[in-house]
Amino acid sequence: MSFKEDVGTGLSENPKYLSSRYFYDAEGDKIFQAIMKMPEYYLTNAEFEIFSTQAEQILSELDVNGRKFDLVEFGAGDGFKTRILIERLIEAGANFRYIPIDISENVLNTLKSDFQKRFPDLEILAENAEYFEALESINRKSENPKVILFLGSSIGNFLEDRTVRFLNALYAVLNVGDFTLIGFDLKKNPKTILEAYNDKQGITKAFNLNLLKRINRELEADFDLEAFDHYPYYDPETGFAKSYIVSLKKQTVNIKGLKKQFVFDAGEAIHTEISRKYGINQIETLFENANFNVSKHFFDCKHYYVDTLAKK
Ligand code: AVI
């Protein structure tokens, strides 16, 4: 479905929702870069620490020993954390191509030109695609052994059934002996988690409300941003961090591009994002149910976050 159709569907439902995949337009990409630099958003630093200090261990688990392989990355973003892993792989003499995949063409172009400068000898095959589309096309692109990266806790943005479908689809495209390395945010003090999605500077608020701005820009709508607020919520029992946009008064919004008006009650919420937090047992069960063998968990020093390596 297109942005326009999805907005029409989501705002017509009760309760209303909008998909977090639409956060990432040019402006959203920029705000997300700022989020990753926030001290409250511990996820990026944790994964950066894991790759800075444990890349050799990751490499030794991969057991590539001079064999050529493809390092495929789903949701590559600006490659900030992958950069350090790639640096270490090159230093260790690994023989690989890099295949970054992202839904944002904008971010992918930046990544490609940055990596071409940093790693002039690295072969890069960037692909602008949605995850499930990319999974389908991956074997047409490459017959080499594969290591598929899905970092940054992006898997946490999937609902349960999508997570299961993703892991099953991943398993189906891999050959026996191939690996996947997936970043999961772990359950921890709920206050730490909530702060990561509720920074005092209002960067996450701007990120969430940019969805309304995007609808204004692309679908000629008249959302008054002052009349909506950002509401993050974390449930330590389920591990679901959820973000909402809440209407601060009863109001009607006109979306010209849809030739439709939408009524919001005072206090009515639009669900925009889920960022799931996991326990280690849940992660192991997820992989086991998809037939993967968990090779090793790589934790940061605070055990806030884990990159789990699993083998087909
Ligand atoms: C991209 N994704 C893993 C981020 C997350 O933590 O769910 C997106 C984000 N939303 C608010 N802050 C960051």
**What's the pTM?**
0.95
> Which among 89-93, 138-142, 153-157 has the top mean pLDDT?
153-157
User: Residue 187: what pLDDT?
Assistant: 98
Please give the Cα distance from 208 to 233 (Å, whole number).
13
Q: What is the percent of the chain where pLDDT is above 70?
A: 100
Q: What is the CA(176)–ligand 1 centre distance, in A?
A: 32
Residue among 274, 276, 273, 272 at smallest CA distance from 185: 276
Rounded to an integer, the average pLDDT of 279-288 is 98
Q: What is the mean pLDDT of the chain?
A: 94
The model's confidence at residue 83, banded by pLDDT at 50, 70 and 90, is: very high
User: Residue 140: what pLDDT?
Assistant: 72
Ligand 1 within 6 A of 275 CB?
yes
Ligand 1 within 6 A of 152 CB?
yes
Give the 3-state secondary structure of residue 40.
Answer: coil
Rounded to an integer, the average pLDDT of 271-280 is 98
Q: What is the CA(275)–ligand 1 centre distance, in A?
A: 6
Ligand 1 within 6 A of 153 CB?
yes
User: Residue 50: what pLDDT?
Assistant: 95
Atom of ligand 1 nearest to the CA of 36: 13
Residue 102 near residue 128 (C-beta atoms within 8 A): yes
The model's confidence at residue 87, banded by pLDDT at 50, 70 and 90, is: very high
User: Residue 202: what pLDDT?
Assistant: 98
Atom of ligand 1 nearest to the CA of 152: 3
pLDDT over 90 at 305, yes or no: yes
pLDDT over 80 at 191, yes or no: yes
Ligand 1 within 6 A of 35 CB?
yes
Q: Nearest residue CA, atom 6 of ligand 1?
A: 275
pLDDT over 80 at 218, yes or no: yes
Please confirm whether the linkage preceding 15 is cis (ω < 30° from 0). Answer: yes
Rounded to an integer, the average pLDDT of 234-253 is 98
Q: What is the CA(149)–ligand 1 centre distance, in A?
A: 17
Ligand 1 within 6 A of 33 CB?
no
Q: What does the pLDDT look like over 193-216, one tens digit per residue?
A: 999 999 999 999 999 999 999 999
Give the 3-state secondary structure of residue 220.
Answer: coil
pLDDT over 80 at 66, yes or no: no
pLDDT over 80 at 46, yes or no: yes
DSSP H helical segments within 63-189, as ranges?
Answer: 80-91, 105-118, 131-141, 160-173
Q: Which whole-number Å values give the CA distances from 218 to 143, 213, 251, 258, in the listed order?
A: 40, 9, 21, 11
Q: Nearest residue CA, atom 7 of ligand 1?
A: 275
User: Residue 107: what pLDDT?
Assistant: 86
Rounded (5°) CA angle 4-132-269: 45
Q: Which backbone phi and psi does 171 adopt, to 5 degrees?
A: -60, -40
User: Residue 51: what pLDDT?
Assistant: 93
User: Residue 293: what pLDDT?
Assistant: 98
Rounded to an integer, the average pLDDT of 263-273 is 98
Q: Nearest residue CA, atom 1 of ligand 1?
A: 154
Q: What does the pLDDT look like over 158-184, one tens digit per residue?
A: 999 999 999 999 999 999 999 999 999
Q: What does the pLDDT look like over 8-29, one tens digit per residue?
A: 999 999 999 999 999 999 999 9
User: Residue 136: what pLDDT?
Assistant: 84
Q: What is the CA(72)–ligand 1 centre distance, in A?
A: 21
Rounded to an integer, the average pLDDT of 190-195 is 98
Chain center to CA of 40: 17
